[in-house]
Structure 1
Amino acid sequence: MKLFRYLAKEVLVSTAAVTLILLLVILSGRIFNYLGRVADGRMSFDFLFILLGLHVPSFIQVILPLAFFLSLLLAYGRLYIENEMSILFASGVSKLKLAGYTLGIAFFVTALSAFINFWLSPTFEYKAQEITQAQNQLTAFDFLQPGKFEGSGQRATYIEDFTPNEGWMENLFLSDNTHKGGQLVPSQTLARYGELVRFAEHDGLQYLVLKDGVRYEGRPGTGHYSITTFDTYAIRIEDTPAGEITAEEAQPTLSLLNASDPKLVAELHWRISLVVIVPILAMIGLSLSQVNPRQGRFFKMLPAIVLLITYLGLLIWGRTALEKQIIPAQLGLWWVHMLFIMIATYTFLLFNQAFSRKAARLPEQNTGGRHA
């Protein structure tokens, strides 16, 4: 049991470290994307890190099998290089027993992967979709910052400040296009005050109420130009109604079991695949981690990574084929797993030589006697 704890510590600590590094790489790319959406006024900064955190389980569900496979190669490779594996084998630990320990470690990772894939990730993705819908219902005026132009091109909005007591927008400038006579006519509106009014009892109707302002419509240099002054002017703002969340990654796993939609069927097989892949990669990693000290711990890293990329590539292609109904739903992605189970079995027999024993050669007996 001490040996199992030692091996588990070596592999699982490395898995956690590799997972964290890969997760930070993915998050760094996503955070720049979200910051761009915040700068464009399509997302509130308050929800940026909440939304990013809700997507973390979805990132981990793909990262975890990869991190475990790489960590197994690195940890066991170090044990081979430092001759610790040779000592274990000389002490009576068979390679079959080492395989049992490896599958025991893989069991913990498989259980964690199942928890993330079947419950945690769909639950968090559903929450993320709810927040995204709430963000889509916000208007550009919910993202306005005093002293800064929002928007681009002809569509732009500017406010000087907010009144300290009422919280009204002060000194507004709105630039937009209006449809008149089948043509787009530029319009500019200036107002002393503005307020966003929502009517929850009328299906969430929203109006921008402007006070003490002037509105210009027309193209400069043409005769069709109008200037309108107003005391109160209301502009209806079109809202985006919240709809049903239909994203495949946000659906509960139990609801996918009886689904007939090809996309939902593909999502179910994808979640199962990210769990089944862990013990298969464990056996491949156990075999390819075996190196002698002269080769170096990274000698078999390249073929291992090629196998990993091929495995994931076939799973991704198979998922797309399921969505397009190129592959029958009954077959799913099991054909990919069966292929790599055979590869795992072959590499285990080839590199570990668990079942091949060379027959010992007996010395030939001399029946003819000794000649003088």
Structure 2
Amino acid sequence: MIIFRYLAREVLVTFSAVSAVLLVIIMSGRFIKYLAQAAQGLLDPGVLFMIMGFRLPGFLQLILPLGLFLGILLAYGRLYLESEMTVLAAAGMSRQRLLAYTLAPAVLVALLVAWLSLSLAPQGVTQVERILYSQDALTEFDTLVPGRFQELKTGSRVTYTESLSEDGRELGGVFISELRLSRSGNKERGISVLVAEKGRQEIRPDGSRYLILENGYRYDGKPGQADYRAIQYDRYGVLLPKPEVAGELNEREGVPTAQLLGSQNLRHQAELQWRLSLPLLVFVVTVLAVALARANPRQGRFLKLLPAILLYMIYLALLIAMRGQLDEGKLSAALGLWWVHALFLGIGLLLMYRESLWLKWMARRVAKEAARGQA
């Protein structure tokens, strides 16, 4: 029991550290992407942390299996390097018992991943979709920040305001530069520049929104030419287009697991198998990690780390590829993703018992040679 607690603690501590680092890296990259959308006016900055919070289960369901895989490799690699595994083997610790001890913390991780993939992640995706859809009702001025030039995603308009009221309706010191295109949209006709002392948003009965500018000027022309037209106005209306938020989420990812059960839809079956594959992935990578963690002290701790990561990437890439094949109906649902798990489980068992299999093969060969010699 003491050895079991020691090994479990080593695995869980290393697993937690590795998972935390991976989570920070992945969430930082995703947060930068959302931050860029907010800077373009496609998202309200106030919802960034809500989106990241709802996306957290989706990140964790993929990070935790990799974190456990690397955690076992690093923890057991250190034990092999410091000859602790040699001492344990001399005391009667077999590879089967080591695997059994390692599967205990793996069960906890698998249960957590199952909870995330089957319940929390779909709920989080649903909430993120609601937030993104709510952003479709925003105009560029709903996400405008005073004192900063803001460009639409299409690059056709740049907007600036010196001041902005708390409700975002009243603007002061407005500057708008808009690129005028031909009706076909492939030829520039020039630019229009609007400046005004103040402006406000106005919603019409049909739902369209206008920016009403007061006491300003409009300049029309082409850069490099001197035939600009200047118009002074007391009141001027500008139609506000709705920014488009690029959807990154698949609709089926938000479907509750209970709705996927028994569904004859191929996409739903593929999604269900994917969700069930993630907890199963934990057990398979545990077998692979225990087999690959064995290292010679002369080889160093990190010699097998790169090949192990490549093997994991091939495993995950093959699962994703087969998921796509199942989506398109090119793969039988009965075969599905299960054969991929069986393949890599077989690889893990082969790597774990390769030495004993080799010794048995050599013993049989020697026995045959001896029998021939006696004959």
Q: Give the TM-score of the pair, scaled to structure 1.
A: 0.82
Shift of 1:131: 1.6
Shift of 1:266: 2.5
Unpaired runs of 5+ residues, structure 1, are: 362-372
Shift of 1:324: 2.5
Aligned-residue sequence identity (percent) comes to 38
> Secondary structure in 2 aligned to 1:192?
strand
Q: What root-mean-square deviation, in Å, do the aligned CA atoms of Structure 1 and Structure 2 show?
A: 3.5
Q: Following superposition of structure 1 onto structure 2, how do residues 309-324 of structure 1 map, counting pairs within 5 Å?
A: 309-324=313-328
> Secondary structure in 2 aligned to 1:171?
strand
* Contact 2:200/2:211 (<8 A) preserved: yes
Distance (whole Å) between structure 1 residues aligned to residue 358 and residue 121 of structure 2: 39
Which one of 209, 214, 217 corresponds to residue 212 of structure 2?
A: 209
Distance (whole Å) between structure 2 residues aligned to residue 219 and residue 80 of structure 1: 73
Which one of 249, 274, 277 corresponds to residue 278 of structure 2?
A: 274
Deviates more, 1:43-52 or 1:345-354: 345-354
Amino acid at match of 2:268: L
Deviates more, 1:42-51 or 1:166-175: 166-175
* Contact 1:218/1:226 (<8 A) preserved: no
Corresponding residue for 1:330? 334
Amino acid at match of 1:138: L
Corresponding residue for 2:373? none
1:353 to 1:296, Cα distance in 2 relative to 1, 3 A: farther
Distance (whole Å) between structure 2 residues aligned to residue 347 and residue 192 of structure 1: 75
Amino acid at match of 2:96: L
Shift of 1:205: 4.1
Distance (whole Å) between structure 2 residues aligned to residue 269 and residue 311 of structure 1: 15
- The answer on 1:350 being equivalent to 2:354 is yes
- The answer on 1:187 being equivalent to 2:189 is no
Distance (whole Å) between structure 2 residues aligned to residue 102 and residue 67 of structure 1: 14
Query: What do residues 109-147 of structure 1 show as CA deviations (whole Å, max 9, x unaligned)?
Result: 111111111112121122122222222321111122233
Query: What do residues 60-113 of structure 1 show as CA deviations (whole Å, max 9, x unaligned)?
Result: 211211111111112112222222223323333333222211222211111111
Distance (whole Å) between structure 1 residues aligned to residue 265 and residue 53 of structure 2: 29
> Secondary structure in 1 aligned to 2:163?
strand
Distance (whole Å) between structure 1 residues aligned to residue 322 and residue 332 of structure 2: 10
Q: Following superposition of structure 1 onto structure 2, how do residues 274-313 of structure 1 map, counting pairs within 5 Å?
A: 274-313=278-317
Distance (whole Å) between structure 1 residues aligned to residue 226 and residue 77 of structure 2: 78
Query: What do residues 166-187 of structure 1 show as CA deviations (whole Å, max 9, x unaligned)?
Result: 9621132333356888895743
Deviates more, 1:62-71 or 1:181-190: 181-190
Deviates more, 1:291-300 or 1:279-288: 291-300
Distance (whole Å) between structure 1 residues aligned to residue 359 and residue 206 of structure 2: 72
Shift of 1:216: 4.8
Distance (whole Å) between structure 2 residues aligned to residue 181 and residue 287 of structure 1: 65
Distance (whole Å) between structure 2 residues aligned to residue 299 and residue 85 of structure 1: 17
1:303 to 1:210, Cα distance in 2 relative to 1, 3 A: closer
Q: Give the structure with higher Rg (CA).
A: 1
> Secondary structure in 1 aligned to 2:300?
coil
Amino acid at match of 1:83: S
1:4 to 1:126, Cα distance in 2 relative to 1, 3 A: same
Q: Following superposition of structure 1 onto structure 2, how do residues 165-244 of structure 1 map, counting pairs within 5 Å?
A: 168-176=170-178, 186-198=191-203, 204-216=207-219, 227=231, 229-231=233-235, 233-239=236-242
Distance (whole Å) between structure 1 residues aligned to residue 203 and residue 353 of structure 2: 70
Unpaired runs of 5+ residues, structure 2, are: 368-375
Deviates more, 1:139-148 or 1:346-355: 346-355
* Contact 2:23/2:63 (<8 A) preserved: yes
Shift of 1:347: 2.0
* Contact 2:253/2:271 (<8 A) preserved: yes
* Contact 1:110/1:279 (<8 A) preserved: yes
Distance (whole Å) between structure 2 residues aligned to residue 31 and residue 165 of structure 1: 26
Amino acid at match of 1:342: G
Query: What do residues 32-51 of structure 1 show as CA deviations (whole Å, max 9, x unaligned)?
Result: 32332232222232222332
1:34 to 1:330, Cα distance in 2 relative to 1, 3 A: same
* Contact 2:219/2:228 (<8 A) preserved: no
- The answer on 1:156 being equivalent to 2:158 is yes
Distance (whole Å) between structure 2 residues aligned to residue 299 and residue 189 of structure 1: 64
* Contact 1:206/1:239 (<8 A) preserved: no
* Contact 1:290/1:351 (<8 A) preserved: no
* Contact 1:171/1:190 (<8 A) preserved: yes
- The answer on 1:37 being equivalent to 2:37 is yes
1:298 to 1:168, Cα distance in 2 relative to 1, 3 A: closer
> Secondary structure in 2 aligned to 1:189?
strand
Distance (whole Å) between structure 2 residues aligned to residue 165 and residue 45 of structure 1: 15
Corresponding residue for 1:92? 92
> Secondary structure in 1 aligned to 2:212?
strand
Corresponding residue for 1:366? none
Distance (whole Å) between structure 2 residues aligned to residue 352 and residue 76 of structure 1: 20
Distance (whole Å) between structure 2 residues aligned to residue 350 and residue 297 of structure 1: 21
Q: Give the TM-score of the pair, scaled to structure 2.
A: 0.81
Query: What do residues 247-303 of structure 1 show as CA deviations (whole Å, max 9, x unaligned)?
Result: 232222222224444433322222222211111111121122223333333343344
